Amino acid sequence: MLCAALLVGGTGCRGAPDARTRFPNGNAATGPAPLADTAADTARPASPPPKAAMLDSGTVALPDSQRRALLKKDSLWQKALRVHYRALVFDGHADTPTLMAEEGYDIGPRHAPAEAHLDLPRMKEGGLDAVFFSIYVPSYLGEGRRASARARRLIRTTKQQLEKHSGRAALATSAEEVRRLARNGKRAVLLGLEGGHALAASEDTLRALARQGVRYVTLTHIGTTSWADAATDTPRHGGLAPKGEDLVRAMNDAGVLVDLSHASDSTFYDALAVSRAPVILSHSSARALTPEARNVTDDMLRALAENNGLVMINFYDEYVEQPGGGPAALEDVLDHLDHAAQVAGVEHVGLGSDFDGVPRLPAGLGDATRLPWLTYGLLKRGYTAEEVYKILGGNALRVLEAAESRAAKPERDDSVAAARRR
């Protein structure tokens, strides 16, 4: 969440670059992978869908006129649309609950991009199957009852909306529930607490929020807390305080993902040292391309890969626009996805739009309906369908399952934990 101010979506798009001369895994290639329905491909037995793929019909939800125009423009769109709408597309961060609670926003009807970036009709059109709704708690509310009350209010508001639109969407608290909802044609909504100060430094509060459905906690927002340093505030602890280490372990035990977006670099490394489950960055981009404190360095990306974690690329124009490159466009987001995949590996990259939490999005990526253009862009750059399935949602499902598995086996090496506390 950056702000809930005027939300303006971009409409233009820079031309896509030519296919790269090698695939992200380093294999030599002369261009994008061939279409799956060419004569050569249809002669081979169909391979089973990857685990990251949906088990539904994969019906393309774009308007027919738009679909025909895209196919006429480039035959690669045939593959892109099939891959995108077959994939389980999973967004790591959208701030729509704040609009619900503060402006009475209803996710049921379709809205214009200038009003908001996400609603149920546009999720369907854009092939967005699952999304973490941010339970955003402003830092100025502190670490006491006001912050916790705000979190509970947004959770109630979100659940009320999901109940109102239960024929089209539902709360999910596990990877299997996400898959089940997707198979049934419903949008899966998960809850992520943005702002660890709402825990009031209490493991009991963490467990209570986990019982209400929270499946990740962003350790900080813009302000440093009593137990963790933020990326955009004066450090007080040099990373995680001992209480912060305890809370990270408690998140592991509760099946709650540790989210390190907004955390300082030192907090990032401390959390990786403590966590016994993969961590995520639910909405951050690459600092090598855009030098913002909220983005992650290449060393952090490599450490994230060793943790088996996930960075979900933020779409906010200030976090993806490149020095001297002019206003941000969809291609900049693709560059960040590509860079993270090259450094950390395809298995550690996902989508974290920050829809409804930022005032500006890149041209060509103005709302949820534009997500298929990311799939097309990745295929154009030489990524295989299997790799695209992972980036779109398979990796998010993997880390969610890993958190669930860790919670089912709460034992840990207490001697190592104690040594790290010393």
Active site residue 93: yes
HSE at residue 141, side-chain half, CA atoms within 13 A, is 20
CB 21 within 8 A of CB 381: no
CB atoms within 10 A of CB 82: 17
Identify the bridge partners of residue 134 per DSSP, sorted by sequence position: 192
194 as an active site residue: the answer is: yes
Give the span between the Cα atoms of 171 and 248, in whole angstroms. 24
Q: Is 256 helix (H, G, I), strand (E, B) or coil?
A: coil
Active site residue 95: yes
Catalytic residue among 95, 129, 253, 265: 95
Instruction: State yes or no: is 165 an active-site residue.
Output: no
Choose the catalytic residue: 283, 336, 339, 348.
283
Place of tokens 């994230």: 304
The neighbour count for residue 46, using CB atoms within 10 Å, is: 8
Q: Which amino acid is at 18?
A: D
CA–CA gap between residue 373 and residue 186 (Å, rounded):
22
- Burial code of 384-415, b = ≥16 C-beta within 10 A, e = fewer? bbbbbbbbbbbbbbbbbebbbebbeeeeeeee
Q: Which of 91, 143, 253, 354 is catalytic?
A: 354
Nearest-angstrom CA–CA distance, 295 and 288: 9
Q: Note the maximum CA span of the chain.
A: 64
Q: Choose, from 194, 332, 338, 356, the residue flagged as catalytic.
A: 194
Q: Which of 117, 221, 237, 348 is catalytic?
A: 221
- From 84, 165, 197, 262, active-site residue: 262
Residues taking part in catalysis: 93, 95, 194, 221, 262, 283, 354
